[in-house]
Structure 1
Amino acid sequence: MRTVRYCDVSAAARVMLATPPANREQVCQRMIREAEFADRFVRRLGKLHPKWGNGTLQAAARRRRLCREPSFSDPEYCACFQQVLSILHDAPEKTDCKFR
């Protein structure tokens, strides 16, 4: 997956906010796998993946329904944002995140 930026985490969190809580982790992990696959596709073939785009988490997220971005005063959005960061943190070998 390409380098993770704020916009990637925000887009993923907005997708998760539109997802039932019981399915959020699974949806987030799937978006990460799609972004990883798309990144490998782009690097290998030199063109965008037809479904998942350029290999960013944001591109994978944008193929789904996103809620409007709330402020961080919304506790559910904060929980989703934190969950995305946590999942990325737990799998740094699969991303360009350098948390450790």
Structure 2
Amino acid sequence: MRPVLHEDVTSAARALLLVRADRRQALCKRFVAQADMAEAYVQQTGRLHADYGNGTLMAAARSYPLADEPTFDDLEYCHCVVTVLMALIDHGDDAA
């Protein structure tokens, strides 16, 4: 997966907002895996992955529907952001 920026996190969180809370963690892990797969594909072929783009978390998340971006006073959105951040921490721990 390419380096993660703010928009990567918010795009993933916006996609998570549209699914039930009990499915968010698994979907977020799927985004991370798809971003990893796309990055490997780009490195091997020099082309974008047809489904998951350029290897960013944002591109993987944006292959799903996104909610309009709320503000941080929306507690569900905050939970989604935390879910994304925890998935990134877990991904980093797995790589170490």
Q: How does 1:8-19 map to 2 (within 5 A)?
A: 8-19=8-19
Deviations along 1:66-92, whole A, 9 cap, x unmatched?
A: 000000010110010011001111220
**CA shift at 1:39, angstroms?**
0.2
Q: Match for residue 45 of structure 2?
A: 45
d(CA) in 1 for partners of 2:94, 2:71:
29
d(CA) in 1 for partners of 2:75, 2:23:
18
Aligned-partner residue type, residue 71 of structure 1: T
Deviations along 1:14-68, whole A, 9 cap, x unmatched?
A: 0111011111011000011000000000011000001100000000011101000
Aligned length: 95
Aligned-partner residue type, residue 58 of structure 1: M
Q: How does 1:1-12 map to 2 (within 5 A)?
A: 1-12=1-12
Aligned-residue Cα RMSD (Å) equals: 1.2
Q: Match for residue 29 of structure 1?
A: 29
1:83 and 2:83 correspond: yes
Gaps of 5+ in 1: 96-100
Residues 8, 57 of structure 1: 8 Å contact kept: yes
Q: Which runs of 4+ in 1 moved over 2 A?
A: none
Q: Match for residue 56 of structure 1?
A: 56
d(CA) in 1 for partners of 2:56, 2:94:
12
Give the TM-score normalised by the residue count of structure 1: 0.91
Q: How does 1:65-84 map to 2 (within 5 A)?
A: 65-84=65-84
Give the TM-score normalised by the residue count of structure 2: 0.94
Range moving further from structure 2, 82-91 or 30-39: 82-91
